[in-house]
A = this chain, B = another copy of it.
């Protein structure tokens, strides 16, 4: 269900004051002094108009948002955090539908209009988390766009039976095939990648791989991913999430890897991790690599951070990148909006005529001030419908 709307008194990307006329969920006109008798009018109160924020990587089936506080005590390795998560989920009687709903409502409130979420698939969980998240996707279909990645968090080859579940996940409605650390998790990078590329190829869907592997191990995985992208003609449909290795290799090798990314139109997603090297954002952006950013896990058993606010995420990514100039922070905001939209393959994204009317209106003299203040969003619009206003979720 889309709606019509006259959004008055906003500043598109901090530009001149304008009104935006939306008809049936689509931007018709952007200009000063628009009138549209009979159409609902919303006052943007001189806020900055941004296209909807895009959270290009999160885990809706892990969050503990909205629950009593969880005391974090997992060990430092990914394996120990996975094991701890199983224990916590059981102890809490975790409901993926309820918890993904909690995070989705928070994300809507903070102005996110599009989310790509990874959802754990394994032989213990089976497809239960996917069912929960798909139920949430259906329920909020009119308020937020969810893209779902079938994610073999606990490994693919090391857990026989996972491959079949992954294929089933796609047939149930997952949008992409996920993968994870093909050497360090699955102990066989070629077979791991061949397996997930084959599932994606058969189903005609894209891929989004978690790659935490450091240095040259990660770089080798990136090369294998690029080779398979080329071989299967999947250019423009593969994302590598995290890709810490891009922040670890030397200049010459980075140039080589960047070439592979560009040739294969492989997108990179970073969340700006706190204490690990990560992709050099400005460098990749200027080279033409598609870049998105995401929340990653929000207040889950893995850690207490995050609040589903992509403006806070933009601040953190800029902070970690050492950015201080406004133009660098604007670049990060571009990654949290248009960049993420490219990662997700969104058509009709933006605030120009014929774009889908997905917006966030936020107070601030400039975009960078908005990132720093992170005030309650004045209005959040999805398909012309006001889904949140003044810090309240309306759906």
Report the separation of the CA atoms of residues A193 and B304 in the bound assembly, to the nearest whole angstrom. 42
- The reply to whether the CB of A325 lies closer than 8 angstroms to some CB of chain B is yes
**B366 and A69: CB pair below 8 A?**
yes
Question: Can you tell how many copies of this chain the complex includes?
Answer: 2
Q: Which residue of B lies closest to A371 (CB)?
A: B304
The residues of B that contact A321 with a CB separation of less than 8 Å are: 274-275
**B326 and A72: CB pair below 8 A?**
yes
Report the separation of the CA atoms of residues A94 and B327 in the bound assembly, to the nearest whole angstrom. 24
**A315 and B326: CB pair below 8 A?**
no
Indicate which residue in B274, B318, B325, B365 contacts A74 across the interface (CB closer than 8 Å).
B325
Report the separation of the CA atoms of residues A152 and B368 in the bound assembly, to the nearest whole angstrom. 30
Q: Which residue of B lies closest to A364 (CB)?
A: B69
- The reply to whether the CB of A197 lies closer than 8 angstroms to some CB of chain B is no
- The reply to whether the CB of A329 lies closer than 8 angstroms to some CB of chain B is yes
- The reply to whether the CB of A285 lies closer than 8 angstroms to some CB of chain B is no
Report the separation of the CA atoms of residues A84 and B139 in the bound assembly, to the nearest whole angstrom. 52
- The reply to whether the CB of A45 lies closer than 8 angstroms to some CB of chain B is no
Given A304-B372, A315-B305, A372-B304, A322 and B275 contact (CB-CB distance below 8 Å): yes
| Whole-angstrom distance between the Cβ of A280 and the nearest chain B Cβ | 11
- The reply to whether the CB of A324 lies closer than 8 angstroms to some CB of chain B is yes
A contact residues, range = 35 or more
**Contacts beyond the supplied A72-B324, A307-B373: 4 A-B pairs with Cβ under 8 Å:** A71-B366, A274-B320, A275-B321, A303-B324
Indicate which residue in B303, B320, B364, B366 contacts A275 across the interface (CB closer than 8 Å).
B320
- Pairs A–B under 8 Å by Cβ, sample size 20: A69-B365, A69-B368, A72-B325, A73-B327, A274-B319, A274-B320, A274-B321, A274-B322, A275-B319, A275-B320, A275-B321, A275-B322, A299-B372, A302-B324, A304-B326, A304-B369, A304-B371, A304-B372, A307-B372, A307-B373
- The reply to whether the CB of A68 lies closer than 8 angstroms to some CB of chain B is yes
